Every structure is written in C-alpha cells, then in structure tokens.
Amino acid sequence: MSDAIQITGLRKTYAAQGNAPAKEALKGVDLNIRAGSIFGLLGPNGAGKSTLINILAGLVNKTAGRVTIWGFDQDVNPRQSRAAIGVMPQELNMDPFFTPRASLEVQAGLYGVPKAERWTDELLELVGLTGQANAYARALSGGMKRRLLLAKALVHRPQILVLDEPTAGVDITLREMLWSNVRKLNDQGMTIILTTHYLEEAEQMCDEIAIINHGQVVIRQNTRDLLSRTDGKTLVLDTGGPVTLPDLPPGARAERRPDGRLAITYPPSRLRADQLLDALRGAGIPILDVATEQPDLEDVFVELTRD
Ligand code: ADP
Ligand code: MG
C-alpha cells in the first residue's frame, strides 16, 4: 500500500440555510497521502480543512468526487473505509455523563471491536488518563478531554489517524504530550494527518504539507522543498549607528529595522552574500556584526495564501 488516502475531484457545497447563502467549501480537491507519513493540511480559517477531514471521517457527505481510504472507496465500501481511519475532531463534543473508561468502551462498541480485542487500559495509559479512568467527563479539564478524544480516535486501531487542530489553545505540556504520542504512533507505522495553524509545529512534525485556501489545494510538497521555495534570504547588519542606505546590486533591497539594524533581503539564487558585503564595504558602511535569516513556513504560507 503506497497511498493511505486518495482524493479526486472532491467538492462540497453546504446548502443555503435561512439567510446564509450556499457555501462552496471544497472546489475540486485532488490529494494523495502516502502511507506512513505525517501529513500536514494547512490553511487559513475557513479554507475548508475541517470539511475535508470530516468527509474523510464520514461525518460530512461530499457533494462530488471520489475518496479512497486504505484502498477502500468510501462509496463502495463505507464500513471498511471508516474502519481504517480514526479522527480526533476539532470540537470538544462528548457525553458529560460517561467516564473516560465508559466512553472508550462505548466507542469500541460502535466500531464493533470485540471485547477480547479492546485495549482500553493501554489507551488510558497512553494518553495519561489512568488516574481519571472512572471520573465523570464533565469533571475533566479541557486538556484531559482532548486526551480522551485522542484515545477515542484509536479504539479500533485504525491505520490512519486524523487530528483536526489538536493543539489549538492547549498548553505546552499537553502539546508536547500529544506530539510525542503522535510520533510514537507514526513510528509504529500509523499514517498521521493533521491540521494546524501553528506553522512552526507543521514544519517540525510533517514530512509533507498541503496548503489549502478557499477550498482549493494551492500547493502540496514535501516540507523541505516547500521551505526552499521562497527565494529570499536576509542579512541583518549592525552598522553601529545610522547610515545612508547604500545602492545595492539588482534584486537586493535594504530596510532599516526598528532596533536600528540594517536588513538586506536578497535572492540567493542570483546573489551571493559576499557580493552584498563587498558592495556595502565599498559604500563605506561599517559592519560590526552580521546575522542571517532564512525564510520559514510562515513566509511561504503568507506568500501562497495572499489574496
Ligand atoms: P477550516 O477548518 O479550514 O477553518 P471549514 O471546513 O470549517 O474551514 O469551513 C470551510 C467553509 O465552509 C467556511 O466558509 C465555513 O463557514 C463553511 N462551513 C463549514 N461548515 C459548515 C456548515 N455545517 N454549514 C455551512 N457552512 C459551513
Ligand atoms: Mg477547522
């Protein structure tokens, strides 16, 4: 199995409701997700990320297109395709009267996991809820609820785990715990798909990234190639005091930073740092210190989702 998920021509239009007009949330998405990868689905608010994920999860009906999960066409083999995927939703929706243990048992029942194959205790342990196993869900903190949602997504041992904004608004401890769990599961072979708007997180966690905007995939690349897309580096110089902005080789531009340093942005494909530094020395500009800045995913993201 090379692709965990294959999506072709996926469209979703939410019907008009009251005063709200119909909304075309996905406008023909094609996407393959390699088995065994950690795949990041990024995009601004309203881009269509949750819609896509909820279609994968079988929670939202698509308007058109084809979705194949772990080799099973969602329309032909709905049961098998659903069994291959576990979803940790963005919303904290849970029954306040169930204990974590009961929640996991009910969820396992929904997925038809036989009693002998359940791994409730291990799951509670995995997400650090052993001590709260028998507490009412309404007594759990927000972080504990999220951990329970992760455990629920795993009851049927899916091949693919989908996390929709798993770290939005969670504290650093929980975030680290989530990521170490995700890495552990991925090391064991699980394919991970996540949405996040923390770009630094995506940069560190994901092998491959798709950026979606207005219901369309604007780019899909492995993370390293995506980061090398923006042809811009910046030299930041301490000139020891105000200087007249010099004439620079074509392609480079200078800007004074609020802290007084001089920032020179240039395309490394066409200019070398030593050419720039020569030009500056030639103009009599003192260089007391130099730092360099590389573009990060944030820059790529802004460039690609600019309207
Ligand atoms: P994201 O997760 O990227 O923020 P969503 O998939 O939640 O984006 O939303 C995509 C678009 O579809 C948005 O304009 C949103 O308002 C709209 N939308 C989402 N869910 C519904 C729904 N149940 N009914 C109507 N419109 C919806
Ligand atoms: Mg969302």
Q: Is 1's pLDDT higher than 90?
A: no
19 lines ligand 1 (CB under 6 A): no
The pLDDT, as a whole number, for residue 302 is 79
If you measure from the C-alpha of residue 46 to the centroid of ligand 1, how many angstroms do you get, rounded to a whole number?
6
The pLDDT, as a whole number, for residue 95 is 74
Rounded to whole angstroms, how far apart are CA atoms 304 and 221?
A: 13
Beta strand 262-266 with 289-293 is unpaired
CB 212 within 8 A of CB 45: no
Summarised one tens digit per residue, pLDDT across range 232-256 is 788 999 999 888 887 888 889 898 9
14 lines ligand 1 (CB under 6 A): yes
The pLDDT, as a whole number, for residue 264 is 92
Mean pLDDT across 106-110: 94
23 lines ligand 1 (CB under 6 A): yes
Rounded to whole angstroms, how far apart are CA atoms 219 and 213?
A: 10
Q: Which residue's alpha carbon is nearest to atom 14 within ligand 1?
A: 46
47 lines ligand 1 (CB under 6 A): yes
Summarised one tens digit per residue, pLDDT across range 252-262 is 989 899 999 99
If you measure from the C-alpha of residue 13 to the centroid of ligand 1, how many angstroms do you get, rounded to a whole number?
10
If you measure from the C-alpha of residue 90 to the centroid of ligand 2, how many angstroms do you get, rounded to a whole number?
7
Summarised one tens digit per residue, pLDDT across range 33-60 is 999 999 999 988 899 999 999 999 999 9
Rounded to whole angstroms, how far apart are CA atoms 38 and 192?
A: 5
Could you tell me the end-to-end alpha-carbon distance of the chain, in angstroms, rounded to an integer? Answer: 38
Q: Is 192's pLDDT higher than 70?
A: yes
Q: Is 86's pLDDT higher than 90?
A: yes
98 lines ligand 1 (CB under 6 A): no
Q: Which residues contact 75 (CB under 8 A, 6 or more apart)?
A: 66, 67
Beta strand 262-266 with 233-238 is antiparallel
Residue in 14, 55, 305 to alter for ligand 1 test, most ligand atoms within 8 A of Cβ: 14
Q: Which residue's alpha carbon is nearest to atom 5 within ligand 1?
A: 48
- Chain centroid offset of residue 210 CA: 9
- What CATH number does the domain located at 3-227 have? 3.40.50.300
The residue with greater pLDDT, 28 or 145, is 28
The pLDDT, as a whole number, for residue 174 is 86
196 lines ligand 1 (CB under 6 A): no
The pLDDT, as a whole number, for residue 307 is 67
If you measure from the C-alpha of residue 284 to the centroid of ligand 1, how many angstroms do you get, rounded to a whole number?
56
Q: Which ligand is nearest to the CA of 23?
A: 1
Q: Which residue's alpha carbon is nearest to atom 21 within ligand 1?
A: 14
Q: Which residue's alpha carbon is nearest to atom 25 within ligand 1?
A: 14
> Could you identify the atom of ligand 1 that is nearest to the CA of residue 23?
26
Residues of the chain with CATH 3.40.50.300: 3-227
> Edge-to-edge strands of the sheet including 289-293?
253-256, 262-266, 233-238, 289-293
Say how many C-beta atoms besides its own lie within 10 A of residue 45's C-beta: 7
Q: Which ligand is nearest to the CA of 212?
A: 1
If you measure from the C-alpha of residue 166 to the centroid of ligand 2, how many angstroms do you get, rounded to a whole number?
10
Angle between the 142-154 and 172-187 helix axes, to the nearest 10 degrees?
10
CB 4 within 8 A of CB 173: no
